[in-house]
Copies of this chain bind each other. A is one copy, B any other.
Amino acid sequence: MPDFSIGVDLGGTNLRIAAVSASGELLEKVTLGTKLALGRDHVIDEMCEAIQRLSRKYKATGSFLGAGIGVPGLIDLQTGMMRKAANLPGWENYPARAEIERRLSASVVLENDARVATFGEQWLGAARGVPNVAMLTLGTGIGGGIVLGGKIFHGMNGMAGEFGHVTVEPEGYPCGCGNRGCAERYASASGLVRMAREAVASGQAPSLAGAASSDAEFGAKAIYNLALQGDEPARRIFQSFGRYLGVLLAGLVNVLNLEMYVIGGGASSAWDAFAPAMFEELRERSIVYAATAPAGPLSSITLGKESAPAQTESNRERKTIITRAVLGSDAGLYGAARVSMLPR
């Protein structure tokens, strides 16, 4: 039986814990609700119990290599403290890593959730075999991660990859971070809902208004369904989403010139609705993309068919690939397990 690690995805809604073998096989996955109402310490107790149960079980047959935990927030890697934790009340400026290590009597890796998702896609997903890649996770907000030379690029404090709070509209919509016009106010599920509510308020979007009034959980999916049915206001919202995502990506391509950019997260399932506008902006706004974009009709790219050929030194003319994530929400579990397997 194989050596293994434990990967944890601690979200605001779900707490998921998985045992993953060193070769990337998912041995077992446990999904629990994140019981925020019971308090931070209760959540940590549940998580540590699940980690211990899984690690005991698989230790019988292989070496336990460590545990990695992906959390939604800005983590200072020097101190193991979360500096921002909007969806985890009580975690801000709390010595999370030290406390978890104390309970487990083992060293753990605490990482931003989008950074480990990027690492998961690079290990086993869309960017397998691609050493240098960035990923954007389009969920309620936008998460991000950069992998260089097959390792998570942390920057100085572990904060590199905060793509969601890059300004894409200087006088734009206010963000909880204190800025205006952050990318995640536009190219995320919450951005979609905000734009839809604005369209409804304008009185120019009857179908959206109908969906919003009949559906108590009116959200990105309902807007996407209307866009698929050809509803113009819903389509325009996804064009706006794609346009701002394109502005963000164009900046990243100009700054980083990586082999690949992976688009993941729940809202990425609306790819067909936003990708054409995204690619249009990219071509217009990034001189680096214009110089390195794959050849061929735009349509074949926008349909996402151009998926992830591993680029080797022997490809002389190396191209910038923009593609969809393939591991879904498991990317973070794989990535979290993986970080604890590597030398630190």
**Count of chain A residues with a beta carbon within 8 Å of a chain B beta carbon:** 54
Q: Taking CB as reference atom, which chain B residue is nearest A148?
A: B148
**Complex-state Cα separation, A76 to B320, whole angstroms:** 13
* Chain B positions within 8 Å of A23 at CB level: none
A292 at the interface (CB under 8 A from B): yes
Known contacts being A74-B287, A257-B155, A290-B178, is A250 close to B167, with CB within 8 Å?
yes
- Copies held by the complex: 2
Q: Kindly state whether residue A161 has any CB partner on chain B within 8 Å.
A: yes
Contact partner, A287, options B76, B84, B148, Cβ 8 Å: B84
Tell me whether A3 is interfacial, beta carbon within 8 Å: no
A55 touches B (CB below 8 Å): no
A342 CB–B CB distance under 8 Å: no
CA distance A119 to B102 in the complex (A): 43
For residue A157, CB closer than 8 A to chain B, the reply is yes
The answer to the question of A310 belonging to the interface, with a C-beta cut-off of 8 Å to chain B, is no
Given known contacts A79-B316, A287-B84, A255 and B156 CB-to-CB distance under 8 angstroms: no
* Residues in B neighbouring A274, C-beta threshold 8 A: none
Tell me how far the C-beta of A172 lies from the nearest C-beta in chain B, rounded to whole angstroms: 9
Whether B251 contacts A179 by the Cβ 8 Å rule is no
* Residue A187 at the chain B interface, CB threshold 8 Å: no
Residue among A154, A156, A250, A256 with most chain B CB within 10 A: A156
Known A159-B292, A287-B74: A255·B316 in contact at CB below 8 Å: no
A165 near B287: Cβ-Cβ < 8 Å: yes
Residue of B nearest to A318 (CB): B156
Are A167's CB and B291's CB within 8 A? Answer: no
Chain B residues with CB under 8 A of A287: 74, 84, 162, 165, 177-179
> Quick one: CB contact mask for A123-138 with B, threshold 8 Å, 1 for yes?
0000000001000000
A259-B162 in contact given A83-B291, A291-B74, A316-B79 (Cβ < 8 Å): no
**8 nearest A-B residue pairs (beta carbon):** A155-B257, A160-B257, A162-B254, A159-B257, A166-B251, A159-B288, A83-B291, A179-B285
